[in-house]
Structure 1
Amino acid sequence: MAKLLAPMEGKVVEVSVKDGDTVEVDDVVLVLEAMKMETPVFATDAGTIKNLKLSAGDTINEEDVICDVE
């Protein structure tokens, strides 16, 4: 199991997946907004999304766990 970590502090603008979804490497998991720029966060491993508890409007810090990919 791999943990997907936030690359920076920011506000979640869009969540593209939900628990149970299957992703491939480089699929967009969510989009963060920081300093008025939107940055997509990509899956770093292929697998199934688990423990995703973020939604649009949430704020996260750099290195926070976004979700697990099994």
Structure 2
Amino acid sequence: MKEITASMAGTVLNIFAKEGDQINLGQEVLMLESMKMEIPIESGIEGVVKEVKVNIGDFVNEGDVLMVLG
């Protein structure tokens, strides 16, 4: 199972991928807000989104799983 994780702590501002979407290497999948800055989260892997683990407005910590790809 492949996972996309948070690179830093922050609040989920936007989610750009949904279950069933094909994700390419380097594709922006999510936007976090941390310390008043918008931080794009890019996929370091390729695959199909099996599960989105967060919702807009959720607070995440560094290393938390954001999405699971298959």
Cα shift readout 1:6-37 (whole Å, capped 9, x = no counterpart): 10000000000111111100111100000000
Aligned partner of 2:30: which letter? L
User: d(CA) in 2 for partners of 1:64 and 1:43?
Assistant: 14
User: Could you list the runs of 4 or more consecutive aligned residues of structure 1 that deviate by over 4 angstroms after TM superposition?
Assistant: none
Matched, 1:42 2:42: yes
- Structure 1 regions of 5+ residues with no counterpart? none
Q: Give the superposed CA RMSD.
A: 0.9
Query: Identity of paired residues, percent?
Result: 37
3-state DSSP of counterpart to 2:52: coil
In structure 1, the residue matched to 2:15 is 15
**Does the 8 Å contact 2:53/2:68 carry over to 1?**
no
- Structure 2 regions of 5+ residues with no counterpart? none
Matched, 1:54 2:54: yes
TM-score by length of 2: 0.93
Q: How many residues align?
A: 70
User: d(CA) in 1 for partners of 2:42 and 2:55?
Assistant: 16
